[in-house]
């Protein structure tokens, strides 16, 4: 596996080693010992999966501390643009985002530490998105940010804004300047 730290320290792209043969392919999708060696100890406790059609945009979401979630995300069908926004007070990259295209073809993974908002925009007809988290789902601590807040300025790869499909919750998300977050940069 290749571990590539992004322009936001602590946010990583992981490229697994893929063994192709006449039957198809094999890869080790996650190896704790290697992950800890390159990124550090994260106690993943839950695996999530979602399926979305073209134009769906899920985000930007996060859970407040003490239920903030680190996420190790990947796509097993289709293609998405995945985005992480730094919400850690005191971080040199506070309010900045990093994005990466994840697809069944590139098999890339994206590690997002606690203290970040996360979201993705589906670029293919369908995308199955699967990820590990290190804290349980806690609706009482669930928060969101508007995906199109110019203060963050995420380029989601949207070609037709009318084709973007948001949940009702996401259409009502607050702006960055109005949102509640309680993360500090360590
Ligand atoms: C996240 C989650 C949701 N749910 C239930 C709650 C709802 O009844 C249903 C759909 O939830 P929601 O609309 O919040 O799903 P997404 O919009 O995909 O939310 C996720 O989207 C972005 C990309 C994230 O990074 C987060 O993991 C998460 O916020 O699943 C659960 O039961 N457990 C869970 O861990």
Q: Is the ipTM of this complex over 0.85?
A: yes
Choosing from 59, 139, 172 the residue with most ligand 1 atoms within 8 A of its CB, the one to mutate for a pocket test is 59
Q: What pLDDT sits at residue 66?
A: 97
> Does the active-site annotation cover 61?
yes
What's the mean pLDDT in 166-178?
97
Nearest partner of 180 among 145, 153, 136, 151, judged by Cα: 145
Q: Is residue 103 predicted with pLDDT exceeding 90?
A: yes
Q: What pLDDT sits at residue 129?
A: 98
What's the CATH code of the domain at 180?
A: 2.60.120.10
Do the beta carbons of residue 54 and residue 163 sit within 8 Å?
Answer: yes
Q: Is residue 186 predicted with pLDDT exceeding 90?
A: no
Tokens of 164: 């973007």
Tell whether pTM > 0.95: yes
Q: Is residue 39 predicted with pLDDT exceeding 90?
A: yes
DSSP string, the chain: -EEEE-SSTT-EEEE--EEEETTEEEE----HHHHHHHT------EEEEEEEETTBEEEEEEE-TTS---EEEEEEESEEEEEEEE-EET-TTTT-EEEEEEETTT--EEEE-TTEEEEEEE-SSEEEEEEEESS---GGGEEE--TT-TTT------S-GGG-B--HHHHTPPPTTT----EE--
Q: How many domains does the chain have?
A: 1
Cα→Cα distances 180→63, 156, 177, Å: 10, 23, 9
Q: In Å, how far from its chain's centre is CA 22?
A: 33
* Boundaries of domain holding 87: 2-184
Site residues for ligand 1, CB cut-off 6 Å: 48, 50, 58-59, 61, 71, 118-120, 137, 167
Nearest partner of 145 among 89, 49, 72, 62, judged by Cα: 62
Q: Active site residue: 3, 131, 141, 181, which one?
A: 131
Q: What pLDDT sits at residue 163?
A: 95
Q: Whose CA is nearest to atom 32 of ligand 1?
A: 137
Q: Whose CA is nearest to atom 29 of ligand 1?
A: 61
Q: What pLDDT sits at residue 2?
A: 96
Choosing from 11, 45, 48 the residue with most ligand 1 atoms within 8 A of its CB, the one to mutate for a pocket test is 48
What's the mean pLDDT in 127-142?
98
Q: Is residue 8 predicted with pLDDT exceeding 90?
A: yes
Neighbours of 68 (CB within 10 A): 22
């Amino acid at each position: 596996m290749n571990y590539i730290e992004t322009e936001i320290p602590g946010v990583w792209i992981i490229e697994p080693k893929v063994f192709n043969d006449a039957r198809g392919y094999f890869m080790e999708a996650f190896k704790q010992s290697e992950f800890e060696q390159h990124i550090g100890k994260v106690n993943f406790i839950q695996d999530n999966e979602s399926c979305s059609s073209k134009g769906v945009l899920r985000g930007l979401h996060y859970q407040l501390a003490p239920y903030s979630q680190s996420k190790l995300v990947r796509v097993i069908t289709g293609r998405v643009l995945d985005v992480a926004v730094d919400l850690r007070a005191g971080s040199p990259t506070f309010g900045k985002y990093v994005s990466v295209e994840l697809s069944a073809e590139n098999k890339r993974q994206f590690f997002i530490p606690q203290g970040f908002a996360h979201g993705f925009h589906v670029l293919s007809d369908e995308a199955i998105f699967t990820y590990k988290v290190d804290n349980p789902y806690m609706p009482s601590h669930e928060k969101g940010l508007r995906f199109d807040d110019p203060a963050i300025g995420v380029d989601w790869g949207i070609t037709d804004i009318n084709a973007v499909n948001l949940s009702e919750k996401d259409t009502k998300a607050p702006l960055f300047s109005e949102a509640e977050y309680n993360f500090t940069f360590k």
